[in-house]
A and B are shown apart, each in its own frame.
Chain A
Amino acid sequence: MGKFLARRLLNYVVLIFLATSFAYLLAATNLQPRVYFEQMQPPPAPEVVNAQLDTLNLNDQTPLAERYVTWLKGAVTGDFGKNIQGGDVSSQMWMKAGVTLRLITVATILGSALGIAIGAYAAVRQYRAFDKAATGASFFVLSIPTVVIAIVIQVIAVAINDGLGFTFLKYVGEYSAGFQGNAWELLLNRIHHAILPTLVLSLALFAAFARYQRNMMLDVLGSDFVRTAMAKGLTRRRALFKHALRTALIPTITYFTFTFGALVSGSTFTEKIYGWHGMGAWLIDSISQQDVHVVAAVSWFMAVTIMAASFLSDILYAWLDPRVRV
Chain B
Amino acid sequence: MSTETIVETESTNNDDMARTPVLEITDLTVTFPGMNNNPDVKAVRGVSYAVHSGEVLGIVGESGSGKSVSSMAAMGLLPEHAEITGSVLLHGEEILGKKDTEMARKRGKVISMVFQDPLSGLTPVYTVGDQLAEAFLVHNPKAGKVKAHDRAVELLSLVGIPNPEARYRSFPHEFSGGMRQRVMIAMAMANNPDVIICDEPTTALDVTIQAQILDLLRTAQRETGAAIVMITHDLGVVAGFVDRLLVMYAGRPVEIGSVDEIYYGSRMPYTMGLLGAVPRMDLEDQGALVPIKGNPPSLTDLPSGCPFAPRCPIVRPECEESEPELLTIGARASETEGDQDENTDAQRVACIRSAEIEANGWNAQDIYPVPEIPELEKATGDRESLPEVLRVQDLIKHHPLMKGAVFRRRVGTVSAVDGIDFDIREGETLALVGESGCGKSSTLMEVMSLDRPQRGSVEVMGREVGTLSRSEKFGLRRDMQIVFQDPMSSLDPRMPVFDIIAEPLRTHKVAAREVTERVYELISLVGLNIEHATRFPAEFSGGQRQRIGIARALALEPKLLVLDEPVSALDVSIQAGVINLLEELQAKLGLAYLFVAHDLSVVRHIADRVAVMYLGKIVEIGDTKSIYTQPSHPYTQALLSAIPVPDPERERTRTHIVLEGDLPSPANPPSGCSFRTRCQKFITLSESDQEQCMSVEPTIQPTNGGDQGSACHFAERRSDLV
Query: A and B: direct contact (Cβ < 8 Å)?
Result: yes
Residues on A facing B (Cβ under 8 Å): 1, 4-5, 8, 223-225, 227-238, 243, 246-247, 250, 314-315, 317-318, 320-324, 326
B105 touches A233 (CB 8 A): yes
Instruction: Give the interface size class of chain B.
Output: 35 or more
A233 touches B138 (CB 8 A): yes
B115 touches A228 (CB 8 A): yes
- Who on chain B is nearest to A246 by CB? B125
Q: How far is the CA of A4 from the CA of B404 in the complex (A)?
A: 11
B500: chain A residues within 8 A (beta carbon)? none
B108: chain A residues within 8 A (beta carbon)? 231-233
- Who on chain A is nearest to B403 by CB? A326
- Who on chain B is nearest to A321 by CB? B125
A230: chain B residues within 8 A (beta carbon)? 77, 104, 107
Q: List 16 A-B contacts (CB under 8 A).
A: A1-B407, A1-B409, A4-B407, A8-B407, A225-B120, A225-B124, A229-B123, A230-B104, A231-B77, A233-B105, A233-B138, A233-B139, A235-B104, A246-B123, A322-B171, A326-B407
- Who on chain A is nearest to B404 by CB? A326
B117 touches A235 (CB 8 A): no
**Interface residues of chain A: helix, strand, loop or mixed (majority):** helix
Chain B CB count within 10 A is highest, among A1, A233, A234, for A233
Q: How far is the CA of A322 from the CA of B170 in the complex (A)?
A: 10
User: 6 tightest A-B contacts by CB?
Assistant: A233-B108, A224-B120, A232-B135, A322-B171, A225-B123, A232-B108
Among B101, B184, B406, contact of A235 (Cβ-Cβ < 8 Å): B101
- Who on chain A is nearest to B197 by CB? A231
Q: Is B518 an interface residue (CB 8 A)?
A: no
B404 touches A231 (CB 8 A): no
Q: How far is the CA of A250 from the CA of B104 in the complex (A)?
A: 27
Q: How far is the CA of A238 from the CA of B101 in the complex (A)?
A: 10
Q: How far is the CA of A323 from the CA of B406 in the complex (A)?
A: 10
B404 touches A232 (CB 8 A): no
B188: chain A residues within 8 A (beta carbon)? 231
Q: Number of contacts between A and B (CB, 8 Å)?
A: 101
Among B77, B107, B124, contact of A321 (Cβ-Cβ < 8 Å): B124
C-beta contact mask, B394-424 vs A, less than 8 Å → 1, else 0?
0000000001111101000000000000000
Chain B CB count within 10 A is highest, among A5, A235, A237, A250, for A235
Q: How far is the CA of A322 from the CA of B75 in the complex (A)?
A: 30
Q: How far is the CA of A238 from the CA of B77 in the complex (A)?
A: 14
Among B112, B115, B124, B409, contact of A4 (Cβ-Cβ < 8 Å): B409
B198 to chain A, nearest CB (A): 12
Q: How far is the CA of A228 from the CA of B116 in the complex (A)?
A: 11
Given contacts A4-B407, A227-B115, A322-B173, contact A234 B121 (CB under 8 A): no
B107 touches A231 (CB 8 A): yes
A11 to chain B, nearest CB (A): 13
C-beta contact mask, B145-175 vs A, less than 8 Å → 1, else 0?
0000000000000000000000000010100
A234 touches B173 (CB 8 A): no
A323 touches B77 (CB 8 A): no
Among A233, A236, A324, contact of B109 (Cβ-Cβ < 8 Å): A233
Q: How far is the CA of A236 from the CA of B101 in the complex (A)?
A: 8
C-beta contact mask, B370-408 vs A, less than 8 Å → 1, else 0?
000000000000000000000000000000000111110
A326: chain B residues within 8 A (beta carbon)? 403-404, 407
Q: How far is the CA of A314 from the CA of B188 in the complex (A)?
A: 36
B107: chain A residues within 8 A (beta carbon)? 230-233
Q: Is B122 an interface residue (CB 8 A)?
A: yes
A252 to chain B, nearest CB (A): 13
Chain B CB count within 10 A is highest, among A228, A229, A247, A324, for A228
A224: chain B residues within 8 A (beta carbon)? 115, 117, 120-121
New A-B pairs, 7, CB < 8 Å, besides A225-B124, A236-B100 = A223-B120, A229-B123, A232-B187, A232-B190, A233-B106, A233-B135, A317-B406
A38 to chain B, nearest CB (A): 53
- Who on chain B is nearest to A319 by CB? B406
Q: How far is the CA of A317 from the CA of B107 in the complex (A)?
A: 33
A232 touches B125 (CB 8 A): no
- Who on chain A is nearest to B138 by CB? A233
